[in-house]
Amino acid sequence: MGWKMWALKKSPWVFHVNTGACNNCDIEILELLTPRFDVERFGIRLVGTPRHADALVVTGVVTRQAAPRLKEVYRQTPKPCVVFAIGACACSMGIFKEGYHVAGPVDKVIREEDPNAIILYIPGCPPKPEAMILGVVKALSLL
């Protein structure tokens, strides 16, 4: 596993990217970061720039305009990093599957940029904050 991954699991700093979501998942993520759920216990902190981030929390189906920008944000994040795809749209395009404006689900767009990216899925529409915490903790213990 290496000490880098161990340290990353102990202190994952999170940057939030919205690639065309309806904002429902964004509201739930915002609630997650409030004092009520206290994710600082796990060392999770919201940072303002992708350069400080370890985990990209991506919501929304990736629209055609957002795709190159999402890849740019992924490039700006220092490796090693993980990507969390939050919500039904980010995991598998959800109800926008036949849409003309979508470039694909999050994992397809990120793997075009980096085939070895570590992507973790948290489905739901929107996932409750408790479900997100469970997903993040389970996912980090699998790494």
Residues that bind another protein (CB under 8 A): 3-4, 7-8, 10-11, 35, 38, 40-41, 43, 46-49, 51-52, 54, 76, 78-80
Cβ at position 112, least distance to another protein in Å: 21
What is the number of alpha carbons within 13 Å of residue 16 lying toward its C-beta? Answer: 21
Element (H, E) at 105: none
CB of 68 or CB of 80, closer to another protein: 80
CB of 52 or CB of 108, closer to another protein: 52
CB of 48 or CB of 98, closer to another protein: 48
If you write DSSP's letter for every residue of 9-34 in order, what string do you get? HHS-EEEEEESS--SHHHHHHHHHTS
What is the number of alpha carbons within 13 Å of residue 78 lying toward its C-beta? Answer: 8
Cβ at position 6, least distance to another protein in Å: 8
C-alpha span between 10 and 95 (Å, rounded): 35
CB of 7 or CB of 125, closer to another protein: 7
